[in-house]
Structures are given as structure tokens and as C-alpha cells.
Amino acid sequence: MQPILANYTASITELKKSPTQLLEKAGSEAVAILNHNIASAYLVPSELYEKMMDIIDDYHLSQVVEERLNDGEEPIRVSIDDL
């Protein structure tokens, strides 16, 4: 069974009727859109989407930092005042 990763759910029919009403009802949270009781999509408010993208960007940057710290090269120390 597929988990539903949202506190709010709606059918595709409800989504077609009034997507704005669904977003208002859910506030700042995502809404799982169900098709035959299976989550087929998530309706995500723009503010939440932007936060999710920031988290993903931070994750990817942390991966680059880890790769560069572990590439075998000697790190160069720099004073914050030199920047």
C-alpha cells in the first residue's frame, strides 16, 4: 500500500471543481490528489514548494562540499578578513 504523504486529501474531481478552495482549506500544507484512493499527485502551495527547493539546493551544495573536502587535496586556509 502506498503511503499518503499529506494531511489533506482530495479527489481529482474536487481538484477540477475548485483548486483554490483546496489550497485555502489546507493552508500552507500539501494536498494529496487521489485517483481511485491512490495518491496520483500532490498540490503544493508555492511557499511550501519554494522551501522544498531551498532544502534540495542546500542538500546538493552539501554534497559538493563533501566531495571537495574528501578529494585528497590539501585544503587551503583562508582568513575571513582576507575575503
Is 2 contained in some domain? Answer: no
Asked, for residue 65, whether it belongs to a domain, the answer is: yes
- Compute CA distances 9 → 3, 6, 19, 35, 47, whole Å: 12, 7, 12, 11, 19
**45: in domain:** yes
| Model-wide pTM > 0.85 | no
Find out whether 34 and 40 touch, Cβ atoms under 8 Å.
yes
pLDDT above 90: residue 18: yes
Mean pLDDT to the nearest integer, 8-12: 96
- Which pLDDT value is given to residue 25? 95
> pLDDT grade, residue 39 (50/70/90)?
very high
78: in domain? no
Does a structural domain hold residue 1? no
Q: How many domains does the chain have?
A: 1
| Residues of the domain holding 52 | 8-69
pLDDT given at position 75 = 84
